[in-house]
A and B are shown apart, each in its own frame.
Chain A
């Protein structure tokens, strides 16, 4: 079977004030229909860049993306994006936000009544019918993200791209939304690429986890197949040795093989290839600030979530 989406030798270079900066190189990835892929890696490693290239919002410097036999070179609704910060239009209600997308995608294909039913159906999928006439500033962060997901689903995309969809939410809300998303996936079986920082989220939701090396010139380090049968239940998985094994593999990739420290980091070959030493220095510095927080981030949520579930 041919893959639905194929990234071949994708690389990108940005022109900055300090000269060109290579963010990605040699990214090869094949994704089949119905697969759920997570991209995981330290911040600044180019995960979002990969997603934006697939979305068409950025153009690869070399290599390319082929979706369904057609090259991707501009954004389009067949590659719907769920943005990290929901990106709902603040002057439109939840319904109207989804409506804008539906009207654009199904103009001439659906009647007015069909569109209305379709919008309501998608809001129903994310359990937002009770607040569909509220504006984004009147609903919570989790609800906004639900609407963002409904908007993307309503476009009937061939690939659903999610850029840290639950990154800005608290642990309990995140768990709820992950469960909702698994329910929706069971029904629709979409092809999904999701960026995440959260190891549990990656293992729980994905069919494959794509782990990226640190930038500059980041690329795919390892790919981990998650062979846990669906439907998955987070409580049962918490005691499942396979689940813990997968988590351990991701964690060891992130914190041993791709460790980020401020003093004398183990050189990944790519670091020397960066064109401008000042950039490395700068990135190095931000890393120093990020490191402790990042590590806490990766271990913290798990504990937090378990506590949340125990009390719930």
Chain B
């Protein structure tokens, strides 16, 4: 292993003792660090799996036994193989179509080639991607509104006092309450013969946006409002214009709080999305769970449990991504990020 690569890997905290141990540095001490960093969480997971297994075997439902870890593993394999076979089918479909079109072109050079899309049902992996796209667009839309709004109301105590009651009232509203309203409004306003994106997508996205707006607004506003008087004095003495003041002083000072808000917002967005997709029938993970529930085969509960774990893992990954983004954007690298 090259030295540069070793050094880079060492920056990943739990890998450091692994590398050191591999290099023969203070082996016994590093091994105990490894056991603490990797072994204990692993033991926690094992314990959870055991309790899950024991509890699951004791629960009988009308759809059979509650799925234990083994069922879930089996179902996730099935879902992946279904995805692969569906992809094979699609590839075969396009190949047949291409061959046919090539034949026709050979017979008749004026023939206009039509390519028809494969219309198979979306696989589990497709549904994950739909969900990700929906949640990210809703979250992005919310951030585009929430950050400027937060900055503006954070700068003025009066505006903050004016907006605060509205924010506090809308903050705890469940996505399920918004959804019927959003559905009706989208149906009324989003009328197109040839829609670019389906209505269900717009509905889910807007519901996500409405629910995940608030933490970013509040945290950005608080971050902006708590900029130290010293820095504001500097800005005043320099007679910075409003825009320069915001760009050079307010934004960098508020970034840590802003990201706290963004991370809260993103985790809310992900939670809300599943509910929104169930009801809006947007072809994502939420719809998958709903369809499996309606389907009611003996495999359904296992498949839903796969979705539950997938949702958890993706939520975790999204949060880590925001953390990474904060590390890149924020000037304060020393701040503890968790």
Q: A residues near B, CB below 8 A?
A: 55-57, 74-77, 79-81, 83, 85, 87, 89-91, 100-101, 104-105, 135, 137, 155
CB-CB < 8 A to B249: which residues of A?
Answer: 89
Beyond contacts A57-B237, A89-B231, A104-B238: 14 other A-B pairs, Cβ-Cβ < 8 A, are: A56-B236, A57-B236, A75-B233, A77-B239, A79-B237, A81-B237, A83-B233, A83-B234, A89-B252, A90-B332, A91-B253, A91-B331, A101-B238, A135-B331
Which chain B residue has the least Cβ–Cβ distance from A57? B233
Bound-complex Cα distance A232 to B268 (A): 66
A100 in contact with B238 given A90-B331, A91-B252 (CB within 8 Å): yes
Q: List residues 286-316 of chain B with CB under 8 A from any CB of chain A.
A: none
Q: Does B61 sit at the interface, judged by CB under 8 A?
A: no
Q: Any chain A CB within 8 A of the CB of B248?
A: yes
Partner of B239, one of A87, A90, A104: A104
Main secondary structure of the interface of B (DSSP, over half): helix
Measured in the bound complex, the distance between the Cα atoms of B249 and A74 in whole Å is 20
The 9 closest A-B pairs by CB, nearest first: A91-B331, A87-B230, A75-B236, A91-B252, A75-B237, A104-B238, A87-B234, A81-B237, A101-B238
The CA-CA distance from A56 to B239 in the complex, in Å, is: 11
When C-beta atoms are compared, the residue in chain A nearest to B241 turns out to be: A104
Is B240's beta carbon under 8 Å from chain A? yes
Chain B residues close to A by CB (< 8 Å): 230-231, 233-234, 236-240, 244, 248-249, 252-253, 331-332, 334
Query: Is the Cβ of A77 less than 8 Å from the Cβ of B332?
Result: no
- How many angstroms from the CA of A138 to the CA of B331 in the assembled complex? 13
Q: Report chain B residues within 8 Å CB of A155.
A: 238
Could you name 5 residue pairs across A and B whose Cβ atoms are closer than 8 Å? Answer: A57-B233, A57-B236, A75-B239, A83-B234, A89-B252
Q: How far is the CA of A195 from the CA of B13 in the complex (A)?
A: 48
**A105 vs B234: C-alpha distance when bound (angstroms):** 13
A contact residues around B233 at 8 Å (CB): 57, 75, 81, 83, 87
Q: Which residues of A contact B240 (CB under 8 A)?
A: 104
In the bound complex, how far is the Cα of B332 from the Cα of A131, in angstroms? 19
Query: Once the chains bind, are A100 and B334 in contact (CB under 8 Å)?
Result: no
> In angstroms, how far is the closest chain A Cβ from the Cβ of B97?
56
Contact B238 A77 (CB under 8 A): yes
The complex places the Cα of A75 from the Cα of B332 at a distance, in Å, of: 29
- Cα(A55)–Cα(B244), bound, Å: 21
Given A75-B237, A104-B239, A83 and B334 touching (CB < 8 A)? no
How far apart sit A91 and B240, CA to CA, in the bound complex (Å)? 17
Which chain B residue shows the least CB distance to A80?
A: B237
Chain A nearest Cβ from B185, distance in angstroms? 42
Are A137 and B334 in contact, CB atoms less than 8 angstroms apart? yes
Contact present for B237 and A89 (CB under 8 Å): no
CB atoms of B248 and A100 under 8 A apart: yes
Residues on the A chain within 8 Å of B334, using CB: 137
B332 / chain A contacts, CB cutoff of 8 Å: 90-91
Provide the residues of chain B in CB contact with A81, threshold 8 Å.
233, 237
Q: Chain A residues with Cβ under 8 A from B253's Cβ?
A: 91
Residue numbers in B under 8 Å from A100 (CB-CB): 238, 248
Whether A89 contacts B248 by the Cβ 8 Å rule is yes
Chain A residue at minimal CB-CB distance from B248? A100
User: Which residues of chain A are near B230, meaning CB under 8 Å?
Assistant: 83, 85, 87
Distance of A56 Cα from B236 Cα, bound (Å):
9
Residues of the A chain whose Cβ atoms lie less than 8 Å from the Cβ of B331: 90-91, 135
Expressed in whole angstroms, the minimum distance between the Cβ of B243 and any Cβ of chain A is 13
Which residue of chain B has its CB nearest to the CB of A88?
B234
A104–B236 Cα gap in the complex (Å)? 12
Contact of B231 among A87, A101, A105, A137 (CB under 8 A): A87
